[in-house]
């Protein structure tokens, strides 16, 4: 193990012990905000501390075995023990390196999922509807909560545009690589010659800010309009101006929410979505110079970047960033998205490990 990695692990173990002691103090337990913050840090550091302790235990066992090598009666047992400790060390080292990887501060956040039909007209809107169902099924399988905030239906089904808030554990960490252009190849129902058409949709995954106040928004730069919600929604639809549309005048960013019956709740949701969009725009701008120097193998997340193709005649899904091809389109559209997401996460971790090796 490199000395630099060892030092980092020792520092994490010291901090973990310190947090463990702090969480037991009555003063900390009485301060809800501090207790919550320390609990999050405890949960983040615990796996690292446990793996480091396993490494230290293994080192002690190896040292004891080496000390027994000179004893003829114990030499055979010592050799067996040394072989076991080497095997454990080979498994523990990559795990420790993985746990040391810098964690995206947004990984634990809820997200706003935005899907927009692109080229392809009615067929693109139908595909947007397919993507929406895929993500909703995936969210259901993972025990997440999904709320459709706004939706513009397509003329022949599907949707032209939809915004969904997805909340739960580690939502952003699993969905963040979905941003980009998704392409579909299939024969539309209206195609009499059986020709395959290509359409596209753009997907954006925006991490939700902790608080709207975290993103500085001048109320004077906002235009807020109210209107009556449209679409299915029972007796309350079209009776009150509960839906809210907010325009951020400096950037021209427009958001709306018509999910809630309360105008106040819709305004709060719309402000949260606006904050997420402004945060995303600022971060993408800041990343442009870095991306010019080093581009992640899993892609930049740019919405203009074609990331995946869904080929219906071949039942094929291809992720172009990691050259992954699966002939399981039907399963994936039913929500079995981990088959694509897991390899993307592994590729991202491999890139991070390469950086860690360069810096160590």
Mode of pairing for the β-strands spanning 145-153 and 159-167:
antiparallel
Strand partners, 163: 114, 150
What letters, b where the CB count within 10 A reaches 16 and e where it falls short, cover 326-348?
beebeebbebbbeebbebbbebb
How far is 338 from 142, CA to CA, in rounded Å? 10
Nearest-angstrom CA–CA distance, 128 and 204: 12
Question: At what angle are helices 75-100 and 32-67 packed, to 10 degrees?
Answer: 150
How many CA within 13 A on the CB side of residue 292?
4
- Taking CA atoms, 67 is separated from 60, 80, 88, 223, in Å, by 11, 13, 19, 76
Cα(257)–Cα(105) distance, rounded to whole angstroms?
A: 27
Instruction: Using alpha carbons, select from 158, 171, 86, 85 the residue that is nearest to residue 123.
Output: 158
Strand arrangement, sheet containing 180-186:
145-153, 159-167, 111-117, 197-207, 180-186, 306-311, 316-319, 324-326
* Burial (0-12, 13-18, 19+ Cβ within 10 Å), 98: middle
- Strands 253-257, 111-117: pairing kind: unpaired
For 191-204, give the secondary structure using H, E and C. Answer: CCCCCCEEEEEEEE
CA gap 115, 202 in Å, rounded = 6
Under 8 Å between Cβ of 50 and 17: no
For residue 42, the surrounding DSSP H or E stretch is: helix 32-67
What tens-digit pLDDT sequence spans the chain (360 residues)?
778 788 889 999 999 999 999 999 999 999 998 999 999 889 889 999 999 999 999 999 999 999 888 888 888 898 999 999 999 999 998 888 878 887 777 888 899 999 999 887 889 999 999 999 999 999 999 999 999 988 889 888 899 999 999 999 889 999 999 999 999 999 887 676 778 889 999 999 998 876 544 567 888 888 988 887 765 444 444 456 788 888 998 888 888 888 767 888 888 888 888 888 888 887 777 666 445 434 443 555 555 678 999 999 999 999 999 999 999 999 999 999 999 999 998 888 888 777 766 655
The SS3 of residue 312 is: coil
- Whether the CB-CB separation of 244 and 262 falls below 8 Å is answered with no
């Amino acid at each position: 193990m490199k000395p630099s990695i060892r030092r980092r692990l020792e520092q994490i173990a010291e901090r973990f012990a310190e947090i463990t002691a702090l969480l037991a103090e009555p003063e900390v337990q009485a301060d809800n905000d501090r207790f919550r913050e320390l609990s999050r840090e405890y949960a983040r550091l615990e796996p690292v501390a446990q793996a480091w302790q396993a490494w230290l235990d293994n080192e002690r066992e190896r040292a004891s075995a080496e000390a027994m090598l000179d004893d003829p009666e114990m030499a055979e047992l010592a050799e067996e023990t040394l072989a076991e400790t080497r095997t454990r060390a080979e498994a523990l080292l990559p795990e420790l390196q993985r746990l040391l990887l810098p964690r995206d501060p947004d990984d634990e956040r809820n997200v706003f999922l935005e899907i927009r039909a692109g080229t392809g007209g009615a067929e693109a809107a139908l595909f947007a509807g397919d993507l929406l169902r895929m993500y909703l099924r995936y969210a259901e399988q993972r025990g997440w909560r999904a709320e459709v905030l706004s939706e513009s239906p397509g003329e022949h089904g599907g949707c032209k545009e939809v915004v969904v808030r997805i909340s739960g554990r580690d939502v952003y960490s699993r969905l963040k690589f979905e941003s980009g252009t998704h392409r579909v190849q299939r024969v539309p129902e209206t195609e009499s010659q059986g020709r395959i058409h290509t359409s596209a949709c753009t997907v954006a995954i925006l991490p939700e800010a902790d608080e709207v106040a975290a993103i500085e928004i001048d109320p004077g730069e906002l235009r807020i309009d109210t209107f009556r919600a449209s679409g299915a929604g029972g007796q309350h639809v079209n009776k009150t101006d509960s839906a809210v549309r907010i325009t951020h005048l400096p950037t021209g960013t427009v958001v709306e929410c018509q999910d809630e019956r309360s105008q106040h709740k819709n305004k709060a949701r719309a402000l949260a979505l606006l904050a997420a969009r402004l945060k995303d725009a600022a971060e993408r701008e800041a990343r442009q110079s870095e991306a010019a120097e080093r581009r992640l193998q899993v892609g930049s997340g740019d919405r203009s970047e074609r990331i995946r193709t869904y080929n219906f005649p071949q039942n094929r899904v291809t992720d172009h960033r990691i050259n992954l091809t699966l002939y399981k389109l039907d399963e994936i559209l039913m929500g079995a998205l981990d088959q694509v997401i897991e390899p993307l996460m592994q590729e991202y971790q491999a890139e991070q490990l390469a950086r860690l090796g360069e810096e160590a």
